[in-house]
Structure 1
Amino acid sequence: MSGAPLGSEIVKAPGDYLRGERCWERATTGPNRALRVAIGSCGLGHVRRGIEAWAEDTAAALHRRGVNVSLFGGAPGPGLFESLHCMKRHRGAARSVARVFRRLGGWRYGLGSAWDVEQTTFAFFLWLQVRREYDIVHVQDPTTGKILDHLHRLGLSRPRVILANGTDESVEWLSHLSAVQELSPVAASRWPRRGGNRHPAVFCVPNFINLKTFSAGDQEVARRRIDLPANALIVLCCAAIARFHKRIDYLIREFAAFAEGYAGAAFLVVAGAREADTDAVIALGRELLGERVLFLVDLPRTEMPQLYRAVDLFVLSSLFEAFGIVLLEAMATGLPVICNDTPTFRHVVGPAGLFADISKENGLARALLAMAQPGVRGPLAQAARAHVEANFSERVVVDQLLEMYGRVAAIRPL
């Protein structure tokens, strides 16, 4: 994504790449009141994944900066957010609706899957909350963002909508929206440069992490609290406990192969959300690893910092992600990382990573054998937190979010 940044003039939507100028102050001072921002996530309160972590972290960071921000979720929870009604993706009603409408082309209008049904029903109740008094709605759920953006274009909703592309949607799908936040330069570079105006306005702003919450600590104390073996090499993976995409079954098999060739004691911890095949994945882990594996299903995020402090290295077994907040959490705690060798992972992990082709059998096992050596993982661990501080800290990224909000708010109506 190259080219000179735009000047301070108000941008006419649809726009070009919008970056470089500080617009937050211009958009929130003078005769206009301060912008009111809504952060929404339909899974917040009943799902523990990256999107929900992003919503909580973003709203909290904006609040600390004095932004007039509200956080909306899909179920009551311990956080300070407003719960809205929606048909939950894991319940029978949402699945039944999706099953019926899937045969009728439901994917075209937000009813093609149980998650689509949850997003669509959440979008309706979120619209009722934000349609008059808010200026910006910021979401990562793609169907929710699409619906709210369409309502804005119809003149039925005041706030402009920004979709943070945490689900790696295609450029073709995203091109129908008004404003898109890509999370890495790799993703942003997919957008073709064309002369004249076009939709959408595209921003490149990464995810971030709270460095006070995720920081190194006493490993021995952390292991005692979680009841982990004191003298073992402990490997951690944080991801939905499922075969599809997160490939936890592959992780288990590769760890078993690694443990056979490793002279010391090794232990695997997998922490993540429950999926339809979680029980089968856990059964595979018990079969191949016995007592050398611990599964932590739906572990509250408040307990994650202690878990990171207790382990020696972090592994992400998925072949690709749009970003990967768990990578930031691990590196902020001082952990070296093993992940697939992709441009996005290289951008996010940087000098803290050992990159391998883990699409192949024994690819991860060989990487684990290499990382088991203190001389290999030591320098990576030392570089981890500094890399996050420089590129993905709250201090660095929230400035970029405020600039993005100011630019989107300054776009003239079509």
Structure 2
Amino acid sequence: MQSATIERAGMIPGQGLRVACFANQFGDRQGHGLARYARELLEALRGIGGPEIIPVAGWSGLEPEALAARQQETGLQLTGLGRRGTSLLWTFLGRPSLEACLDAPVDVVHAVSLGYPVATRKPLVVTIHDLGPLIRPDYFRNTSPWVMQRSLDQAVRQADVIACVSQYTADTVREYAGPSVEARLRVVLEGVSEAFFTPADPALLHRFALPPGVPFILSAGAASPRKNLAGLLRAMTVLGSSIPHHLVLAGGAGWDSGEIAQALAAPALRNRVHRLGYVSDPELRALYQAADLYVHPSLFEGFGLPVLEAMASGTPVVASDRTSLPEVAGQAGCLCDASDPEALAAAILQVCGSADLRARMAAQGRRRARQFSWSSCARAMAGIYSDAVS
């Protein structure tokens, strides 16, 4: 490929190209999930000195005042399309083209996630994070399988290159899109921010009023069925008093609150579970570093970035053995069938019960996390931009 030739020649891939990166997630003020991916990738692309990046904010709530505030918060120069109806025009009419909405010409358009189709006449790169609503519609209430299939079909028709964030996601795209997509598929793994390798400020934990001197297990994620927080609570019930650890849950309320409330009612969990709600990035880093163990019991992921963030923070990880998580955790995490509370409890007990094992896993996890960087992700993506125009 052309990008490989550029790398061997020592040139920066994508140099001289102007790329419009389109992401609705710029409107997400809390900045986790796809919003974190969009922000980290764009900052890394700018950092390698390759293509010129024009971040384009979609129609998801970014009116002029909100756009100005978001620009100040992120330091990114965002271009808002300004009309909520743009999505309908793109979906049903295929116009106006994205480049017609911008102030200057671009060479490539990059749709940073698989959403409604982006109307463009320029070479198009689409990033697919997962096909969850197609594979497990019961886990994804807000997107119907029909909408996801339509979005995938549109991406397959339009895109010059389809970038997948994991081998698992690439395999599922191949399965649901058919053989015609094979030559255009690329796997570009996510990275982990350097900030997670650096010491956090423990004073940031004061506002959570966690019991002093009590070790804790951390899990981060919104309360949706695929995150399996109810299963983690059941595993903690199985453990009972066999470990002294409390459980700290960081993340939004989600839509699995009923099952979680039922699991929380177990007498064994009384006063031992702390739900923090949304936490900032600095607070999350402090929580990772203070925890004895991070548990990621999710039953469906396209990548699983919190696993890497915990490993970078020097925290041992117990994770589900489903979907993309084995390829992210590698041999550095303790993988188990997280759908089985007994199996999950056994894995937690194994790690929490041995300080030596935790120390070994912490060291292995840091080495594993070092294999994933946003700079590498950006260089691979910049090479894809070069391929798209060749």
TM-score bracket relative to the smaller structure: 0.7 to 0.9
**Alignment partner for residue 108 of structure 2, among 136, 145, 168?**
136
Q: Which residue of 2 aligns with 1:79?
A: 74
Residue 210, structure 1, aligned to residue 193, structure 2? yes
Counterpart residue number, 1:294: 274
Superposed CA offset, 1:47-82 (max 9, x none)? 644111100111111122234213334443322343
Query: Which of 222, 228, 249 is the aligned partner of 1:247?
Result: 228
User: Kindly tell me: are residues 297 and 182 of structure 1, through their superposed partners in 2, closer, same or farther at Cα, counting changes over 3 Å?
Assistant: same
State yes or no: 1:272 paired with 2:232: no
**For the structure 1 residues 240 and 36, does the alpha-carbon distance in structure 2 shift closer, same or farther, using more than 3 Å as the test?**
same
From 111, 125, 128, the counterpart of 1:162:
125
Amino acid at match of 2:6: R
What letter is aligned with 1:250? G
After TM superposition, give the deviation of residue 256 of structure 1 in Å.
Answer: 2.3
In the aligned structure 2, how far is the partner of 1:272 from the partner of 1:125? 37
Asked whether the 8 Å contact 1:223–1:229 carries over to 2, the reply is: no
Q: Give the SS at the match of 1:217.
A: coil
Once the two structures are TM-superposed, the CA of residue 348 in structure 1 deviates from its matched residue by: 0.7
> 2 CA distance for matches of 1:26 and 1:55?
21
- 8 A contact 1:339–1:358 mirrored in 2: yes
Matches within 5 A, 1:96-245: 129-130=101-102, 133-144=105-116, 147-148=117-118, 151-152=119-120, 157-158=121-122, 160-168=123-131, 173=153, 175-178=156-159, 179-189=161-171, 191=174, 201-211=184-194, 213-217=195-199, 221=203, 223-224=205-206, 226-242=208-224, 244-245=225-226
**Residue 310 of structure 2: aligned partner:** 330
Contact 1:257 1:362 (C-alpha < 8 Å) held by counterparts: yes
Find the counterpart in structure 2 of residue 398 from structure 1: 378
Q: 1:127 to 1:238 in 2, by over 3 A?
A: farther
CA distance in 2 between partners of 1:85 and 1:363 (Å): 50
> Does the 8 Å CA contact 1:233/1:372 hold for their aligned counterparts?
no
Aligned mates of 2:20, 2:171 — CA distance in 1: 28
Q: TM-score with structure 2 length normalisation?
A: 0.75
CA contact (8 A) 2:48 2:375 kept: no
CA displacement at 1:300 relative to structure 2: 2.9
Aligned 1:280-359 pairs, distance under 5 A = 280=258, 283-284=261-262, 286-288=264-266, 289-342=269-322, 344-359=324-339
Instruction: Measure the CA separation in 1 of the matches of 2:47 and 2:127.
Output: 21
**In the alignment, residue 79 of structure 1 is paired with which amino acid?**
T
Q: What CA deviation, in whole Å up to 9, does each residue of 1:121-170 have, x standing for no partner?
A: xx9796653496222333343123xx11xx33xxxx33x32222112367
What amino acid maps onto 2:105 in structure 1? Answer: E
Aligned counterparts of 2:193 and 2:105: Cα–Cα separation in 1: 29
Distance in 2 (alpha carbons) for counterparts of 1:21 and 1:182: 22
Equivalent residue runs for 1:3-82 within 5 Å: 6=1, 8=2, 20-22=4-6, 25=11, 34-46=16-28, 48-66=31-49, 67-73=51-57, 74=60, 75=62, 76=66, 77=70, 78-81=73-76, 82=78
**Secondary structure, in 3 states, of the residue corresponding to 2:197?**
coil
The 3 A distance-change label for structure 1 pair 84 and 131 is closer
Partner of 1:377: 358
Aligned to 1:387: 368
Q: Secondary structure at the match of 2:226?
A: coil
Distance 1:403 1:248 in 2: 38
Structure 2 CA distance for aligned equivalents of residues 409 and 118 of structure 1: 22
Give the CA deviation at 1:200.
5.8
2:248 counterpart letter in structure 1: V
Name the structure 2 match of 1:114.
none
CA distance in 2, matches of 1:85, 1:302: 32
Letter of the structure 1 residue corresponding to residue 43 of structure 2:
A
Alpha-carbon spacing, 1:403–1:231, altered in 2? closer, same or farther (3 Å): same
Q: Which amino acid aligns with 2:74?
A: G
Do 1:210 and 1:393's aligned partners in 2 also have CA atoms closer than 8 Å?
yes
CA pair 203-263 structure 1, distance change in 2 beyond 3 A: closer
Q: Is the 8 A contact 2:41 2:377 kept in 1?
A: no
Alpha-carbon separation, structure 2, partners of 1:346 and 1:199 = 23
Q: 1:285 Cα deviation (Å)?
A: 5.9
> By percentage of residues, which structure has more helix?
2
> 1:275, CA displacement in angstroms?
2.3
Question: Does the Cα contact within 8 Å between 1:175 and 1:200 map onto a contact in 2?
Answer: no
Kindly state the Cα deviation for residue 37 of structure 1 after the two structures are TM-superposed.
Answer: 2.1
Ranges in structure 2 where 5+ consecutive residues have no aligned partner: 135-148
Q: Is the 8 A contact 1:55 1:71 kept in 2?
A: no
- Percent of matched pairs sharing the same residue: 22
Deviation at 1:353, TM superposition (A): 0.4
Structure 2: distance between partners of 1:180 and 1:71: 19
Q: Secondary structure at the match of 2:6?
A: coil
Deviation string, structure 1 residues 164-214 (Cα, Å, up to 9, x no partner): 21123679746434221122234435648xxx9867611111011221x11
Question: CA 1:313/1:219 → structure 2, altered by over 3 Å: closer, same or farther?
Answer: farther
| Distance in 2, Cα, partners of 1:277 & 1:344 | 22
Name the stretch that deviates more: 225-234 or 19-28.
19-28
1:105 aligned partner: none
Structure 1: how far apart are the matches of 2:382 and 2:335? 33
